[in-house]
Amino acid sequence: MQKLRVVIVSPALADANNGNWQTARRWQALLSPHSARIVKQWPDALAEQDQVMLALHARRSADSVQAWHAQHGQQGLGLALTGTDLYRDIQHDPKAQTSLDLAHSLVVLQDLGAKSLPPKHQAKARVIFQSTASRKTLAKTARHLRVVMVGHLREEKDPLTLMNAARLLPTDSGVLIDHIGAPLDPLLGQAAQTTQLQCPHYRWLGGLPHAQTLQRIQRAHLLVHTSRMEGGAHVLMEAICSGTPVLASRIDGNMGLLGEDYSGIFEAGDAQGLANLLLACRNLQNGHDLVAHLGHQCALRAPLFQPQAERAALHRWVQDLWTH
């Protein structure tokens, strides 16, 4: 195999520690023995050596995509699409639309992503599932149902649906909710503080280091994911590969990871629907354990998110970009 020099363009770097950065850093590691570096903007002082570009985000990496195309044409130019690309920007933003036109091939991060592309671009899209390490499933307490939600507090993640669901739960329901995420929207941070004061079964923990967050996912019975817009949330995979099943909003970014027949789905923005699901998971009815059923469904999806699967798909993409 020819060793190639790959540049990954990420609109966010380590200081942001968001999904784009996590993807860029993981891809850099998985692409070995190719040489991969991460930049925020291209070209830079090392640009002449680059043979393949993997750009994250059609709109925010648009200038780098255009600069590469001006020098190399479509040769070596790949574009990975985020949730805000697929479900917002490419519908109306000229720069994002130009990025789609210029790229040799496109990557979406879940099974339903390509259907949101313009028909003329769907044929050049492929799915590469993100990956995470499998972690030991920890014993869960029977005293209560421990629920965790992970995601910075911003509109796209719709944290208000979780807070409103917490208000709908009886205080003696036996459901305890931990909410992890930094207040990127100060108003949502205030709402979380107010909810915490009014609902003793809801705790907002703010932003936590990744290792601590993973431990809380492992200890929880359920991970809740309320997003209104999502390209393919890595935290869903982290939960699934930790043996923690998921309750998620009915959006393509979630359904494309969990499968369209997944049982732990509520309508986006439906706090009552989420509260009902939480209560159903807490209560064993007619001997049917919903949490166990969701766990079984998640276990069937877990092999899709193994690092060796993502590594193989990434290497195929890079090779195709270089040779076509």
Q: What is the pLDDT of residue 286?
A: 46
Q: What is the pLDDT of residues 166-198, one digit of tens each?
A: 999 999 999 999 999 999 999 999 999 999 999
Q: Is the pLDDT confidence value at 54 over 80?
A: yes
Shared domain check, 169 and 292: yes
Q: If you average pLDDT over residues 48-63, what whole number do you get?
A: 97
The CA-CA-CA angle for residues 119, 125, 127, to 5°, reads: 130
Phi/psi of residue 9, nearest 5 degrees: -95, 115
* Burial environment of residue 299 by CB neighbours within 10 A (0 to 12, 13 to 18, 19 or more): middle
Beta bridge partners of 55: 9, 79
Residue 140 lies in a domain: no
Q: What is the pLDDT of residue 83?
A: 84
Shared domain check, 162 and 275: yes
Phi/psi of residue 224, nearest 5 degrees: -105, 140
Q: How far apart are CA 283 and CA 291, in angstroms?
A: 10
Q: In what order do the strands lie in the sheet with 175-180?
A: 202-206, 175-180, 145-150, 222-225, 246-249, 265-266
Residue recorded with tokens 């019975």: 221
Q: How far apart are CA 25 and CA 14, in angstroms?
A: 9
Residue 135 lies in a domain: no
Residue 20 lies in a domain: yes
Shared domain check, 294 and 250: yes
Q: What is the pLDDT of residue 231?
A: 80
Q: Is the pLDDT confidence value at 13 over 90?
A: no
Q: Is the pLDDT confidence value at 18 over 80?
A: no
270: which residues sit within 8 A by CB, 6+ positions away? 161
Phi/psi of residue 308, nearest 5 degrees: -65, -30
Shared domain check, 315 and 235: no
Q: Output the domain CATH number for residue 39.
A: 3.40.50.2000
Q: How far apart are CA 32 and CA 101, in angstroms?
A: 29
Q: How many domains does the chain have?
A: 2
| 162-171, 271-280, 283-292: range with lowest mean pLDDT | 283-292
94: which residues sit within 8 A by CB, 6+ positions away? none
Shared domain check, 176 and 246: yes
Shared domain check, 314 and 198: no
Shared domain check, 279 and 152: yes
Residue 104 lies in a domain: yes
Shared domain check, 162 and 290: yes
CA 33, chain centre distance (Å)? 26
Shared domain check, 99 and 168: no
Rounded to the nearest integer, the mean pLDDT of the chain is: 94
Q: If you average pLDDT over residues 105-116, what whole number do you get?
A: 94
Long-range pairs, 260-268, Cβ under 8 A, ≥24 = 262/294, 262/297, 263/290, 263/293, 263/294, 263/297, 264/222, 264/290, 264/294, 264/297, 268/158, 268/161, 268/226, 268/227, 268/228
Shared domain check, 318 and 293: no
Shared domain check, 112 and 40: yes
Query: In the structure encoding, which two tokens stand for residue 20, read together?
Result: 């784009």
Residue 139 lies in a domain: no
Q: What is the pLDDT of residue 225?
A: 98
Query: In the structure encoding, which two tokens stand for residue 29, read together?
Result: 């590691």
Instruction: Provide, rounded to the nearest whole percent, the portion of the chain with pLDDT above 70.
Output: 97
Q: If you average pLDDT over residues 43-67, what whole number do you get?
A: 97
Q: What is the pLDDT of residue 14?
A: 63
Q: If you average pLDDT over residues 53-79, what whole number do you get?
A: 97
Instruction: Provide, rounded to the nearest whole percent, the portion of the chain with pLDDT above 90.
Output: 86
Q: What is the pLDDT of residue 139?
A: 83
Do the bridges between strand 222-225 and strand 145-150 make them parallel or antiparallel, or are there none, so unpaired? parallel
Q: What is the pLDDT of residues 87-105, one digit of tens each?
A: 889 999 999 999 999 999 9
Q: What is the pLDDT of residue 287?
A: 43
Residue recorded with tokens 């709908």: 168
**Confidence class for position 15, pLDDT limits 50, 70, 90:** low
Residue 222 lies in a domain: yes
Shared domain check, 223 and 114: no
Residue 156 lies in a domain: yes
Q: What is the pLDDT of residues 202-255, one digit of tens each?
A: 999 999 998 999 999 999 999 999 999 888 888 999 999 999 999 999 999 999
Q: What is the pLDDT of residue 16?
A: 62
Domain that holds residue 270: 145-304
